[in-house]
Structure 1
């Protein structure tokens, strides 16, 4: 496997590895995002077995031991499986997430105590500002949360808009259609009455870029894309009775 690197916004690097065995024949990309600043942050660690690939990719951008922060959308192997490997390499690094993730999982799972973030807390990386946005059960996991990088207008959106295949690193094309097709395939989203409302709150940020964990990053009208995804979630929730 090969991990490709692309700078999708100023100082934000997408590290992407295609795994052909997942969702064949198209395969499935696993993406991490390195946000550079005086205190760099890695969003998603990749699973443990992918750690050597991701570490080597980070090393092409900066010394891995200088990584300061580690975070992810929710507690899941592909999002944080290599968390402790990174803590071992970067001795000053800290895991950071919301209260639910820390209390329920990370206080025990992380080799060093995590830093807990309140809703709308800003992590100042020095040159980049990441605002923490709790998104419980969106798209899944009650501890789920995302970050909006305010300087570049980039939403680190985890599993939202997940799609199969290995497209370009950055696209201005349709990401909703492929996301709908992937949801029809995987049924991975936790549909509940607040799903659409949470997506509309993210849309209010008017992000200029959407950094997808599985699929190409998107450049364009992030607000419109999130509102369209909210409508699809509402449709699915109504069809399953999740809103009742």
Structure 2
């Protein structure tokens, strides 16, 4: 099941629901002078995503293909997109560009540091490194400054085939999904460390109004408060408080 929704000006959410996982895989297309696709999708999903994206923009016009960290749903089909979009370039953290993309990608990726801003035309994206949040040393997120959209990868993960975007509180769904993850073979897939709170507070300081989530509903509203709430939920479900409750 594939759905396309414009969740913010020029920001299209292309969602694929996989019943076997009871999970949505969301990919974000930004229409601008230099179109940006954030999350490539898995290689097995590439034909489906290509067909969906073509309803909004010609795939060969893509200029940037961004992702948070090295994982199959984040960048698994990067090379497939690079092959059909001759002017496209992967964009990720500097760490990711060096340690992963230097060998994985068929063309060099653009590595971003905290000081960098990616401009696609009328929109500009600040890069914020978030190592091990949600996953991996190479992780980072991108913040679009005009409409205050945070492309937040696996943060706010929610299971289920849910609405594209909501202004309702999503934290109980997030908590339920985190708790379910702890009971699965992928337990502890998202760590809570002594640096997590600081990184989430840094993201909250950006005052985002749209949270574009990889899995589940995107959120429109007080994104700063949602990020602070996420810190509390992650601490309770994944951190030291969980260990105290279980002991």
Normalised-by-shorter TM-score class: over 0.9
Aligned pairs, number: 237
Match status 1:233 vs 2:212: no
> What does residue range 39-54 of structure 1 map to in structure 2 within 5 Å?
39-54=34-49
Match status 1:79 vs 2:74: yes
Q: Which residue in 1 is equivalent to 2:12?
A: 13
> What does residue range 131-170 of structure 1 map to in structure 2 within 5 Å?
131-170=126-165
Q: Which residue in 2 is equivalent to 1:212?
A: 213
**Structure 2 counterpart SS, 1:70:** strand
Q: How far apart are the structure 2 equivalents of 1:131 and 1:54? A: 26
Structure 1: tracts of 5 or more residues without a match = none
Displacement of 1:16: 0.2
Q: How far apart are the structure 1 equivalents of 2:30 and 2:13? A: 9
2:235, 2:242 within 8 Å by CA — same for their partners in 1? no
Displacement of 1:233: 2.5
RMSD over aligned CA atoms reads: 1.3
Q: How far apart are the structure 2 equivalents of 1:170 and 1:240? A: 30
1:148, 1:156 within 8 Å by CA — same for their partners in 2? yes
Q: Which residue in 2 is equivalent to 1:190?
A: 191
**Structure 1 counterpart SS, 2:239:** helix
Q: How far apart are the structure 2 equivalents of 1:237 and 1:193? A: 9
Q: Give the TM-score of the pair, scaled to structure 2.
A: 0.93
Displacement of 1:238: 2.0
1:196, 1:233 within 8 Å by CA — same for their partners in 2? no
1:169, 1:216 within 8 Å by CA — same for their partners in 2? yes
1:155, 1:209 within 8 Å by CA — same for their partners in 2? yes
Q: How far apart are the structure 1 equivalents of 2:135 and 2:90? A: 20
Q: Deviations over 1:84-137 (max 9, x none)?
A: 000001010000111111111111000001111111411000011111111000
Displacement of 1:232: 2.1
Q: Which residue in 1 is equivalent to 2:57?
A: 62
The one of 118, 134, 143 equivalent to 2:113 is: 118
Displacement of 1:138: 0.3
**Structure 2 counterpart SS, 1:146:** strand
2:7, 2:164 within 8 Å by CA — same for their partners in 1? yes
